[in-house]
Structure 1
Amino acid sequence: MLRILFILFFTFCGSQSIFSQEELKLTVRDSVKNEKNNVLAPSKAAFYSAVLPGLGQAYNKKYWKIPIVYAGLGTGIYFYADNNKKYHRFRDEYKKRLNGTSDSNDPYFGNLDNSRIIDGQKFYQRNRDLSVLVTAAIYILNIVDANVDAHLMQFNVNENLSLKPDLYQNEMDYKHNIGLTLNYNF
């Protein structure tokens, strides 16, 4: 009796592993042939976005995201350039004051003392540096978005995975109850 159970157990386990390996081979072949399930797509999309911002979004066929990427990068670059220009204006005025060549009738800097000039210089320098960090964060976010979006394109959402409302009758008091059913079929 024990011998029969032992043979049945190994036969059952052996047949299950054979079937699972066969299915795995088919899945790998199908994913290589099927462009939608290309396992290299996320790394390609990230690489394309790193080379040229927005190119990964175009690779993923999410064209509506490209203007958002360029608007974010353009805004960061604009604020960097503006703050850098103002920083240099304050720095140059401070240098002129140290050399004694400053114009006291200047409409912009004439009413400011040296401490205000230094404060303005520090303010615009801090904002310039912050603009660089924000622009770099938008660039990195562009790459991450392309990578994640390419991964999510491989996510399978169909009728085999669904969440539906359900109305059922309680067996204890025969009242109707409302619930949610999660269906997941392999």
Structure 2
Amino acid sequence: MYKKLFILLLLAGLAVSAQAQTPDTAGVAKPADTLKVKKEPAKPRLAPSAVRDNFKNQPDTLHSPHKAVIRSLIIPGWGQLYNHKWWKVPIVYGGLGLIGSAIIFNQNYYSQFLTIAQYRRRGEQPSPGDKYYTEYQAFSTASDTFIENAVNSYRRNRDLAILGMLGGWGIQMIDAYIDAKFIHSYSMDDNLSFKVRPGLIGQPMYAGNFNTAFVPAIKVTFAF
């Protein structure tokens, strides 16, 4: 009997020992993570082309290229003043002034030789004191061909000078637009267009007796 009791006690002790050695995973708490890493939100990185596009499409609303063009259209040099380009104003007026003097010079001689040619066609002579009387006497020995060529030459030079005036006026408008767009803004659009086309201009009625009723010309068109 003692032998059986001893065996039972031995088996019970082994069972208790085995249960004590089994870890209790349910009751063991996980150790706290004492090292905390602060995570910052990732900053978006833009591609160089996207950055350039974003920068390009931000115009300066306080400085309008449209206003610069309109002011240069009304008064030459006004757009340059609007863009704070003071030093360009003397250049604008110097160039336009030279072209204007060429227009006046050729127009005066054109009117003079045209009057002489008209007197000769009618077979008349101006009376003393009439306009161009002195000039008529000065060219009294000149041939009719010489007078006609002089009329055509001065008319052509006058027309070219007028085209030069229009071209100079348009150039200072474009200059004002470009300064306003590139210096005071970050973008460039297609609102301004510049077209040059050949064409014909009808002669005035008092000059319609010559070889042709039309003279070649250049048409300049601005759109903004």
Deviation at 1:38, TM superposition (A): 3.2
Deviation string, structure 1 residues 128-153 (Cα, Å, up to 9, x no partner):
10010000000000100000111221
Deviation at 1:155, TM superposition (A): 6.6
Pair 1:128 & 2:158 matched: yes
Aligned pairs for 1:7-86 within 5 A: 37-38=60-61, 41-86=64-109
Query: Which amino acid in structure 1 is aligned with residue 149 of structure 2?
Result: D
Paired residues of 2:63 and 2:180 also in contact (CA < 8 A):
no
Equivalent residue for 2:170?
140
Deviation string, structure 1 residues 37-82 (Cα, Å, up to 9, x no partner):
3375222211111111101000110001111111122222211111
Mapped to 2, the partners of 1:66 and 1:40 lie a distance apart of: 19
CA RMSD of aligned residues (A): 3.1
Report the number of matched residues. 132
TM-score by length of 1: 0.61
Aligned pairs for 1:170-185 within 5 A: none
More helix by share: 1
Mapped to 1, the partners of 2:61 and 2:183 lie a distance apart of: 10
Equivalent residue for 1:87?
110
Deviation at 1:110, TM superposition (A): 1.7
- Structure 1 stretches of at least 4 aligned residues deviating more than 4 Å after TM superposition: none
Paired residues of 2:63 and 2:184 also in contact (CA < 8 A):
no
Mapped to 1, the partners of 2:74 and 2:123 lie a distance apart of: 49
Deviation at 1:107, TM superposition (A): 4.9
Query: Which amino acid in structure 2 is aligned with residue 136 of structure 1?
Result: L
Which segments of 5 or more consecutive residues in structure 2 lack a partner in the other structure?
1-41, 127-133, 187-224
SS at match of 1:126: helix
Which segments of 5 or more consecutive residues in structure 1 lack a partner in the other structure?
1-11, 157-186
Query: Which amino acid in structure 2 is aligned with residue 125 of structure 1?
Result: R
Mapped to 2, the partners of 1:143 and 1:66 lie a distance apart of: 12
Greater mean alpha carbon deviation, residues 143-152 or residues 118-127: 143-152
Percent of aligned pairs sharing the same letter: 29
Deviation at 1:85, TM superposition (A): 1.1
Equivalent residue for 1:8?
none
Mapped to 1, the partners of 2:147 and 2:172 lie a distance apart of: 37
Mapped to 1, the partners of 2:81 and 2:184 lie a distance apart of: 16
TM-score by length of 2: 0.51
